């Protein structure tokens, strides 16, 4: 049934996609498949990853913090329990000053923040009647709220009824260290060792997503290419508002409005030096471009600056410090790194890029 809904082969496919048991499973499957395809077939491996709401589970699974099998069970249960046990809800997206939005949220019982998506960009959750009331009040204050196409009040206390059975599902999940750093949707900062546990993912259902914080943390860590893994460019539309830096690149390989979005994205990633040796098929060819219908050339090796930035991020994650604290000119041993930690980071670079680097004593 999921495949039929995904292909639009059922008469009520659009309605079914609004159900959390269908929509969340399909979104997770698409995101994970896209991430795996980009890495294994096209040599696109993230230095750091994060996800918005459900997307955080996809990021965690792709990074290996949760096995794919466990993640599939968690996502399926999460969507089914939300659909079956939580009441109908609604959500608004609103742009305005925090002070004005706060005044409405704090004076409207049942209205809650669901996401902080940027400076002056918020998602609100609550019962449908409360959201209609809030919408009217926001309009009275000169704002233009928009109702989101959802049937549940995500990241709010209306999710409470599904927590007990969801907790039992999480009891069976084994959490482990990710193969690259992750950012937390709850704090907006790097996920600390052991932070991903049952309590975390229960909170993640209830509490607002700190999207702005994640974007700011990624930019501070030196990330300059943001690649959205999803069916439409949504995150890449909000991200530039969080860190208005013209040097940052925002890419999305899927877009209904542009059937050539995927090859264009690969072409740009290649030009930026962000594609490596893929896991399947040896060295990867350059993608088709609008200027040529021939495929030629091999992927470039990672340049020194890119490798240095990634090495700093890896060491920072292992040392549990912020990336700027890892000074390339400072003795890493003096910072608390031991030989095992350094070998771990060096091996990760080699596995990802086929590049061997040394550490001077």
Domain count, the chain: 3
Evaluate whether residue 263 is within a structural domain.
yes
Q: Does the pLDDT at position 99 exceed 60?
A: yes
Q: Does the pLDDT at position 291 exceed 60?
A: no
Final residue before a domain boundary, out of 129, 151, 173: 151
Task: Specify the pLDDT at position 289.
Answer: 30
Per-residue pLDDT of 182-222, as tens digits, reads: 999 999 999 999 999 999 999 999 999 999 999 999 999 98
Token pair 């809030």: residue: 134
Evaluate whether residue 326 is within a structural domain.
yes
Task: Specify the pLDDT at position 254.
Answer: 94
Task: Specify the pLDDT at position 149.
Answer: 93
User: Checking DSSP bridges between strand 225-227 and strand 249-251, what pairing results, if any?
Assistant: parallel
Domain match, 28 and 46 both: yes
Choose between 105 and 235: higher pLDDT: 105
Do 49 and 184 form a contact (C-beta atoms < 8 A)?
no
Domain match, 8 and 130 both: no
Task: Specify the pLDDT at position 17.
Answer: 81
Reduced to 3 states (helix: H, G, I; strand: E, B; else coil), residue 38 is helix
Helix (H) or strand (E) holding 251: strand 249-251
Q: How many CB atoms lie within 10 A of CB 336?
A: 12
Task: Specify the pLDDT at position 287.
Answer: 38
pLDDT band at 154 (very low <50, low <70, confident <90, very high): very high
Task: Specify the pLDDT at position 326.
Answer: 74
CATH number of the domain at 77, please: 3.40.366.10
What average pLDDT does range 18-22 have in this prediction? 91
Q: Does the pLDDT at position 93 exceed 80?
A: yes
Q: Does the pLDDT at position 156 exceed 70?
A: yes
pLDDT band at 284 (very low <50, low <70, confident <90, very high): very low
Domain match, 22 and 43 both: yes
Domain match, 179 and 53 both: yes
Helix (H) or strand (E) holding 29: helix 20-42
What average pLDDT does range 252-273 have in this prediction? 88
Domain match, 92 and 241 both: no
Q: How many CB atoms lie within 10 A of CB 303?
A: 10
Domain match, 71 and 177 both: yes
pLDDT band at 327 (very low <50, low <70, confident <90, very high): confident
% the chain with pLDDT above 90: 63
Q: Does the pLDDT at position 276 exceed 80?
A: no
Evaluate whether residue 282 is within a structural domain.
no
Query: 71-110 burial string, b = 16+ CB within 10 Å, else e?
Result: bbbbbbbbbbbbbeebeebbbbbbbbeeeebeebbeebeb
Choose between 176 and 270: higher pLDDT: 176
Q: Does the pLDDT at position 81 exceed 70?
A: yes
Mean pLDDT of the chain: 85
Task: Specify the pLDDT at position 91.
Answer: 98
Domain match, 55 and 168 both: yes
Q: Does the pLDDT at position 336 exceed 60?
A: yes
Choose between 13 and 235: higher pLDDT: 235
Domain match, 70 and 193 both: yes
Choose between 360 and 247: higher pLDDT: 247
Domain match, 253 and 163 both: yes
Q: Does the pLDDT at position 290 exceed 60?
A: no
What average pLDDT does range 319-333 have in this prediction? 69
Q: 233: domain range?
A: 1-85+157-272
Domain match, 325 and 199 both: no
What average pLDDT does range 68-78 have in this prediction? 98
Task: Specify the pLDDT at position 257.
Answer: 87
What average pLDDT does range 58-79 have in this prediction? 97
CATH number of the domain at 99, please: 3.30.70.250
Domain match, 172 and 79 both: yes
Rounded Cα distance between 67 and 86, Å, is 27
Q: Does the pLDDT at position 305 exceed 90?
A: no
Per-residue pLDDT of 125-135, as tens digits, reads: 999 999 999 99
């Amino acid at each position: 049934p999921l495949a039929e809904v995904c292909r639009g082969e059922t008469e009520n496919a659009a309605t079914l996609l609004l159900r959390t048991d269908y929509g969340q499973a399909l979104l997770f499957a698409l995101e994970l498949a896209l991430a795996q395809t980009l890495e294994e077939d096209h040599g696109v491996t993230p230095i750091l990853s994060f996800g918005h709401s459900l997307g955080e589970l996809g990021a965690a699974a792709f990074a290996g913090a949760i096995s794919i099998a466990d993640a599939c069970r968690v996502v399926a249960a999460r969507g089914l329990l939300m659909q079956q046990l939580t009441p109908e809800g609604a959500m608004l997206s609103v742009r305005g000053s925090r002070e004005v939005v706060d005044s409405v949220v704090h004076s409207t019982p049942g209205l809650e923040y669901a996401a902080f998506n940027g400076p002056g960009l918020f998602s609100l959750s609550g019962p449908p009647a409360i959201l209609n009331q809030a919408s009217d009040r926001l309009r009275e204050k000169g704002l233009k709220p928009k109702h989101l196409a959802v049937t549940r009040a995500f990241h709010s206390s209306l999710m409470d009824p599904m927590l007990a059975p969801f907790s039992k599902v999480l009891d069976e999940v084994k959490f482990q260290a990710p193969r690259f750093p992750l950012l937390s949707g709850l704090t907006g900062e790097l996920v600390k060792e052991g932070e991903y546990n049952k309590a975390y993912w229960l909170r993640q259902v209830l509490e607002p997503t700190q999207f702005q914080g994640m974007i700011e943390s990624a930019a501070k860590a030196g990330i300059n290419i943001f690649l959205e893994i999803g069916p439409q460019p949504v995150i890449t539309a909000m991200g530039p508002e969080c860190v208005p830096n013209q040097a940052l690149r925002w890419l999305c390989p899927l877009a209904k409005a542009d059937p050539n979005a995927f090859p264009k994205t690969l072409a740009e990633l290649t030009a930026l030096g962000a594609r490596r040796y893929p896991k399947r098929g040896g060295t990867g060819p350059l993608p088709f471009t609008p200027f040529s219908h021939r495929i030629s050339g091999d992927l470039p090796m990672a340049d020194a600056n890119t490798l240095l930035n990634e090495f700093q991020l890896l060491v920072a994650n292992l040392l549990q410090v912020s990336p700027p604290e890892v000074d390339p000119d400072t003795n890493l041993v003096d910072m608390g790194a031991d030989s095992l930690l350094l070998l771990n980071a060096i091996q990760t670079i080699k596995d990802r890029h086929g590049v061997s680097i040394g550490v001077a004593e």
